[in-house]
Amino acid sequence: MGSEATPAKEAGGWGAADPRKGHRPESWLAGEVGRTDPGSEAWSLLHWLMVSSKPRMMAISQEFDLAPQQAIALRILGAGPRPMGELAKILFCDSSNVTGITDRLEERGLVRRTSAEHDRRVKLLVLTDEGERVRAEITKRMAEPPPAIAALSAEDQRALRDVLRRAIESLDE
């Protein structure tokens, strides 16, 4: 696991299905609707980077033979056991989708269902030891900055980190 070729890597990322096709970063989102304020431009550029990184995230999931939703579920469960309904809300999906995600993770021995102490009808999802190991490996891979950020100077990386940290801190206010 780690650096072997995957279908997403071999296809060079998006291929013909690239949603950015016909766009440039400066015409993405804010530029498309004529917004030129710095906040809108910054948000558009962050969105461009995230959309551009999707093939990389798909490839990381595929390295572990997981669907992206399964990898995200493992990441979320790293914070501790969660009710299935809560996981559905975090993933913005229907509870029946979480049942399918959970079934596949359980078949792989990565999670187990257990009854909540306060209400045995509530099913909690808990990472197994193997699930924690896979989650840690996925986290290690996802923590690697994408090439566009890794190519920035250390000074620019620190500045970007500091600005984003301030933006995120304002979410809690």
Do 52 and 118 share a domain, yes or no?
no
Dist. CA 165–CA 173, nearest whole Å: 13
Secondary structure of residue 95 in the 3-state scheme = helix
pTM for the predicted model, two decimal places: 0.79
Same domain, 76 and 114: yes
Domain shared by 122 and 140, yes or no: yes
> Number of structural domains, the chain?
2
pLDDT confidence of residue 15: 63
- CB neighbours of 51 closer than 8 A, spacing ≥ 6? 19, 20
Which residue range(s) make up the domain with 59?
A: 7-63
Asked if the structure places residue 24 within a domain, the reply is yes
- Residues of the chain short of pLDDT 70, as ranges, are 1-17, 173
| Same domain flag for 82 and 117 | yes
CB-CB contact of 14 with 150 (8 Å): no
The predicted structure's pLDDT at residue 1: 45
Enumerate long-range contacts of 113-120, CB under 8 Å, 24 or more apart: 113/84, 114/81, 116/83
Q: Are 84 and 23 members of one domain?
A: no
